[in-house]
Amino acid sequence: MSEAGELTVTLLRFGFLLLLWVLVLSTVGALRRDLVVGRRNKVGTPTAREIRRNPELVEEPAPGRPSARRLVVTEGPLAGTALDLAASPILLGRAQEATLVLEDDYASGRHARLFPQGSRWFVEDLGSTNGTYLAGTQLTRALPVEPGVPIRIGKTVIELRP
């Protein structure tokens, strides 16, 4: 075999070894997304970079326990009262069986209901006389409540806190 031919064969030989490793390493590279998911499972909150690459990471923050943990009365006769939220619905009103008994003349007996569904809390008006207002708009159906958004019942304003 000529010298040039031998050189080509040697180059091809090394090229083949290189190609083998390029395949292995690009396979590992293609699997990186799975590793990102693994990190999410471990730490919980994805970093900004991971969110930019995988927008679906934030859309659904893992169903299970609702994010809000406490209910706080911010205005009205009961201002300052706080209530820990469990996974069960909460009845708001003047009636004695209500979870949070409102001493508010403008509230109905069974005024509104807060209930968890999936990872969120929803508020629903139970046919009260004066209505329930979520962030200033009167409720006509059950709506999801984000933490920090005020719910007005008569003169009382309550908020969910994480």
Partner 1 sequence: MSDVLTVPRSRRNIELVLLVLALAVAVGANYLAGIGREEPFNDYFWSTALTLGLMSLFIHVILRFRAKYADPVILPLVIALNGVGLAMIHRLDLSAAAASPDFTPVAPQQVLWTAVAIGAAAVTLILLRDHRILRRFTYISLIVSAILLLLPLTPLGLEINGARIWISVGFGTFQPGEIAKITLAIFFAGYLSTNRDLILLAGKKIGPLQFPRFRDLAPMAAAWLVSIGVLIFQRDLGSSILFFGLFMVMIYVATSRVSWVLIGLAMIGVGVFVALELFSHVALRFDSWINAFTPEVYDRAPGGSRQVVQGLFGLANGGLIGTGFGEGRPDLVTYANSDMIIAALGEELGLIGVVAIVMMYVILVSRGIRAALGTKDGFGKLLACGLSFTIALQCFVVIGGITRLIPLTGLTTPFMSAGGSSLLANWLIVALLLLISETARRPAPTGPMKDSFPEVLGVNGKPVKKRPEKEATR
Minimum separation from the CB atom of position 58 to partner 1 (A) = 12
Q: List contacts with partner 1 (CB under 8 A).
A: 1, 5, 9-10, 12-17, 19-24, 26-28, 30-31, 33-34, 36-38, 41, 54, 56-57
Query: Nearer to partner 1 by C-beta: 46 or 76?
Result: 46
Residue 159: enclosing H or E segment and its boundaries?
A: strand 156-161
Query: Nearer to partner 1 by C-beta: 10 or 129?
Result: 10
Transcribe 99-149 into DSSP letters: SEE---TTS-SS-EEEEEETTEEEEEE-S-SS-EEETTEE-SS-EEE-TT-
Are 113 and 132 in contact by the 8 Å Cβ rule? The answer is no
Minimum separation from the CB atom of position 19 to partner 1 (A) = 6
Query: Nearer to partner 1 by C-beta: 36 or 83?
Result: 36
Query: Nearer to partner 1 by C-beta: 33 or 65?
Result: 33
Within 13 Å, how many C-alpha atoms sit on residue 131's CB side? 9
Minimum separation from the CB atom of position 141 to partner 1 (A) = 14
Minimum separation from the CB atom of position 4 to partner 1 (A) = 13
Instruction: Give the span between the Cα atoms of 45 and 62, in whole angstroms.
Output: 11
